[in-house]
Amino acid sequence: MSVLLVSKWAALAGLAVCVAGLGLRWRRSMERARPRDLAPARGSGMAGVVYAFSAGMMPWAKESTRRHWAAYMRGIGFHVGIFAGLPLLAASPWWGLLPHAVRLGLGTMLGLGAVLGAAGIVMRLSEPILRALSTADDFAAIVLVSAFLALEAAALASAAWMPAMYLAAGIVLAYIPLGKIRHCLYFFFARAFFGQFVGRRAVIHPHASGASPATLAGETRQ
């Protein structure tokens, strides 16, 4: 059995662990009792959810990102690399059909994502507050994902890196439901709860929500 074939099976095993682990966490999350807001509703919870997943995610909607644009853009670039890297991994058996220039372009994009991920490690180590708040899981997640993106970029440039890329992919996929990367699942729960809260309390920004608090309160009274 070739090294490449073994590495592919490792990636599939990691995918199986990922799907099973996230599925279990999703089921347990759905089974939990949802917090009940006992205060009288002044607005629309649904309008709040729409805001939370749209205008509420814009960088100017949060003070932390308004004041730290460089850190925000680094995070965006890192996540763009991740979002591109996963579908490219699934399409890896057909990479040979792509022109070499396209593969190099995709590899450059993933390589930049890996660099931005590594920059996140430097930021956590250099800034006292971030360093105090960071855990071993924070560093492990960034290192694993950055290494995967770097190896995927190398594999796009040269097929000799394919086994290393598949092994890294298997490790990252298996780690997703075990470490902090599982926030890719909990993100949706958090944003939905936040949106329902600010929507019911009618505290979402009138221009961002498309309706004034008075309008939202009127919808509730109807």
Q: Looking at residue 52, what is its pLDDT?
A: 86
One pLDDT digit (tens) per residue for the chain, 222 residues? 699 999 999 999 999 999 999 999 999 988 887 777 777 888 888 888 888 888 888 887 777 777 778 888 888 899 999 999 999 999 999 999 999 999 999 999 999 999 999 999 998 998 898 889 899 999 999 999 999 999 999 999 999 999 999 999 999 999 999 999 999 888 888 888 888 888 888 887 554 444 444 443 443 333
The predicted-structure confidence for 5-36, as pLDDT tens digits, reads as follows 999 999 999 999 999 999 999 999 888 877 77
Class of domain 3-221: mainly alpha
* Domain ranges (residues) in the chain: 3-221
Taking the mean position of all CA atoms in its chain, how far away is CA 197?
Answer: 23
The full length of the chain comes to 222
* Contact (CB, 8 A) for 104 and 157: yes
Q: Looking at residue 199, what is its pLDDT?
A: 86
* Contact (CB, 8 A) for 177 and 23: no
pTM comes to: 0.82
